[in-house]
Each structure stands twice: as C-alpha cells, then as structure tokens.
C-alpha cells in the first residue's frame, strides 16, 4: 500500500482505540456534577506519583503553572536569578520572568540538547535561587551533576519534566530527583489530556502541602487566606480522562522506543549521516521520546522541512528561536555568542514523527523521502 502522507502526530489514533473508556470516564464526571474537586483528582495524583516514584502528586491547571508554582514555592522574586536552558519551550523562562526574577541562561550539550552541567558553576551568584533543568524531548538531563552543584551552593533544583513523564536518570524517575517536578498534560505530551492540565511532584510532605496552598489562592479553610497564591486547578474531567490514558502510558512509551530504534536502523541503511545527525541517547537514561529530533547539516534545515511538507510529511522545529533571542527578553542583553550550542541547535533541529501508533511503512516513507531530499543538490536560490 502506498503512503501519501505522514502526520507529525496523530492523537486520534490513540484516542480512537480507547474512545469508549474515555467517554465512560467523562460521563461519570458529568453525571456526578463534581467538575472540580471530584474523586478522580486524588486518584490520579496518587497514580501519577507512583509512576514518578514520589510521595506526592499535586494537580494544577498546566505545565506552565506547575513551573510558576514551584518558583513561588521558592519565593523567587525581584533581584533573584534562576538558571535555565535557553533551548527550551517558552514557559520555562516566562515562569521566572513573571515573578520579576532574572532568567540566566545556560548552554546545552550538543548531543542531548540538555543543560551542560560543566557550564553551570560559573553562572552561580549569591542571587541564584534555583536551577531549572529541562528533560528535553523525553531524555533526562544530567541530574547527578546538576544536583551536586545545587547542593554545594544550597540552591533548589526544579525539574521541568513536561516532556518526560516516565523517563529515568539512572534508576530514578524524573520528577523525583530534584526538589519539585513539573509536568504538563497538554495533548501533545506523552500523557496528554483532553485539554490543559499539569502536575507537581515531590517527596517532601511540607512542600506538597505548600504547593496545594499556593495553587488554591492560599486559602485554608475556605475564605481564609494565609498567603497570596493563584487559582490553578486540575479539573475532574481531565483527571478522569488522564486516569484512562495512564493505563496505556507504559505501552505507548515502549512503542515510542521501538520507533526510535527503527529510525536508527532505517537511517543507517539510508547512509546520509554526513547530512543528518541522529539524536544521541546517554547510556544511563531511559528515554521516552516525546520528540525524535535530528540535526540537518549544511544550513539546509528550512529547505528540507519545506520539501517534506511538499510531500505531506509532517515535521516541526522545536525550537527555532532560543529564549535569549526572543524579543520579549531583549532587555536581558545576553552577550552575543555566549550560548553557541543553543543557537546552533535552533538552526539545525528538525523533529520527525515518532508517535506510538506510527507504522513501520510510514517510518520507511519518512526516511526514504529524507534520503532523496538530502542526496539531491540544493535548489538554486
């Protein structure tokens, strides 16, 4: 059977297979009328905590809010600095900015796209309040070195694990390696909801309690406010739907890993390694492949993406502009050339379809197309 198109992501394939389960779970919430504070929320929080091997899960409205709440927990504010990668989704940086603190950007390792721990030490100042590593594309950052540096300076580590539910660093699940883990249930994440949602994870009872207070207007009991928090709730329909999806998460992760392994084989046969670099996986991680991100060499990335699109093959650039180059952060005046690997990654990366239900024929189609495009001479400008 010939293939005419391959989407970057087709969430309907997964949802079709569990449609009845999902609708039954949603119907139960509708019938209960408990759209907020329903029993599915606490159930999901404990099931999610088990996956992250932590004592507590605290639901919130989004991954962005999870980041904001963890920085509020640390009382990050004006005059403080938070170290984070520049090569990440915007929300990692905006959480710092929103609280009036200064984002300080650390460069990445070129092979994993994650925080380069060797670059951290020189960025720490007396104002540094937290380090915010991102487990980008589903692979854990080097948490041994990051925690060691943070411990030495008595600084909190907040994990942005939005793309990495179920991923491991050595034998430890992400979300429980730093002080707080931040997760997103945005529909394209490995555990995607039926709308927005997020989760905070921690092993510390007091931290969990404080995060609950911060996410509910600092209110306890009702209408008595101890601190000024925000309103950030995970709703019951999300929690009920996510509990259904959670039952299929491990299998989906295995399918993503199988697809990544298949890409490695197919690309080897295609022999275009001079034109395209495959993503590297460290020996001591369990990767969950939220994205399969290659580098396209020789300045051809945008052209290659257009040619894939012309063949109805989906791809995406995560991320085309590192945070230090975003217009809204211009006032930070990051010195030119100080984050070379972040800038090079932004100009070379291209994410290819890797979703669990992707078929072997579709993968072959993607690789064959890339082979043809990369072997052809660049069209005259």
Ligand X SMILES: *Cc1c(COP(=O)(O)O)cnc(C)c1O
Who contacts 44 (Cβ-Cβ below 8 Å, separation ≥6)?
57, 59, 234, 239, 240, 242, 243, 246
173 binds ligand X (CB under 6 A): no
C-alpha closest to that of 260 among 285, 288, 231? 288
Q: How far is the CB of 350 from ligand X (least distance, A)?
A: 17
- Which of 38, 41, 59, 62 is close enough to bind ligand X by CB under 6 A? 62
Question: What is the spatial distance between Cα 57 and Cα 191, in angstroms, rounded to a whole number?
Answer: 15
184 binds ligand X (CB under 6 A): yes
Please, how many CA atoms are within 13 Å of residue 377, restricted to the half-sphere of its CB?
Answer: 3
81 binds ligand X (CB under 6 A): no
DSSP alpha helices (H): ranges in 130-286?
143-153, 205-214, 236-246, 249-270
Q: How far is the CB of 184 from ligand X (least distance, A)?
A: 3
Binding mask 232-271 for ligand X (x = CB under 6 A): ----------------------------------------
Question: What is the spatial distance between Cα 121 and Cα 135, in angstroms, rounded to a whole number?
Answer: 19
Q: Which residue of this chain has its Cβ atom nearest to ligand X in the complex?
A: 63
Q: How far is the CB of 92 from ligand X (least distance, A)?
A: 5
CA 271 to chain centre: 30
> Of 92 and 281, which has the nearer Cβ to ligand X?
92
Please, how many CA atoms are within 13 Å of residue 132, restricted to the half-sphere of its CB?
Answer: 35
CA distances from 337 to 52, 107, 325, 333, 334 (A): 37, 11, 11, 12, 9
Binding mask 124-143 for ligand X (x = CB under 6 A): ----------x---------
94 binds ligand X (CB under 6 A): no
**Residue 319: is the preceding peptide bond cis (ω within 30°)?**
yes
Q: In this structure, what token pair is assigned to residue 237?
A: 């329909």
- Which of 48, 87, 89, 267 is close enough to bind ligand X by CB under 6 A? 89
198 binds ligand X (CB under 6 A): yes
291 binds ligand X (CB under 6 A): no
> Of 62 and 351, which has the nearer Cβ to ligand X?
62
Give the residues lining the site for ligand X (CB under 6 A).
62-64, 88-89, 91-92, 134, 160, 162-163, 184, 186, 196, 198
């Amino acid at each position: 059977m010939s293939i005419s198109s391959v989407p970057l992501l087709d969430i309907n394939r997964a949802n079709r297979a569990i449609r009845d389960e999902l609708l039954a779970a949603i119907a139960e919430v509708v019938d209960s009328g408990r759209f907020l504070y329903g029993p599915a929320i606490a159930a999901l929080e404990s099931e999610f905590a088990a996956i992250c091997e932590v004592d507590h899960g605290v639901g919130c409205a989004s991954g962005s809010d999870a980041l904001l709440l963890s920085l509020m927990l640390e009382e990050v504010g004006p005059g403080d600095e938070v170290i984070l990668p520049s090569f990440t989704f915007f929300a990692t940086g905006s959480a710092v900015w929103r609280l009036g603190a200064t984002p300080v950007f650390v460069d990445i390792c070129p092979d994993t796209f994650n925080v380069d721990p060797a670059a951290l030490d020189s960025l720490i100042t007396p104002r540094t309040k937290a380090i915010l590593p991102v487990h980008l594309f589903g692979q854990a950052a080097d948490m041994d070195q990051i925690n060691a540096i943070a411990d030495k300076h008595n600084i909190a580590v907040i994990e942005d694990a939005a793309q990495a539910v179920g991923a491991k660093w050595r034998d430890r699940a992400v979300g429980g390696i730093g002080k707080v883990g931040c997760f997103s249930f945005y529909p394209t994440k490995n555990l995607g909801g039926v709308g927005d949602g997020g989760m905070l994870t921690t092993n510390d009872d007091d931290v969990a309690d404080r995060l609950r207070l911060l996410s509910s207007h600092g209110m306890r009991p009702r209408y008595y406010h101890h601190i000024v928090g925000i309103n950030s709730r995970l709703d019951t329909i999300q929690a009920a739907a996510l509990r259904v999806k959670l039952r299929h998460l491990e299998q989906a992760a295995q399918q993503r890993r199988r697809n990544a392994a298949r890409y490695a084989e197919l690309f080897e046969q295609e022999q275009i390694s001079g034109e395209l670099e495959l993503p590297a996986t460290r020996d001591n991680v369990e990767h969950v492949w939220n994205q399969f991100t290659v580098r396209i060499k020789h300045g051809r990335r945008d052209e290659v993406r257009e040619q894939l699109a012309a063949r109805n093959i989906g791809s995406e650039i995560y991320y085309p502009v590192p945070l230090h180059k975003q217009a809204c952060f211009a006032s930070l005046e990051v010195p030119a050339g100080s984050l070379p690997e972040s800038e090079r990654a932004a100009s070379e990366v291209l994410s290819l379809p890797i979703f669990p239900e992707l078929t072997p024929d579709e993968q072959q189609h993607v690789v064959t197309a890339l082979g043809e495009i990369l072997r052809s001479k660049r069209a005259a400008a």
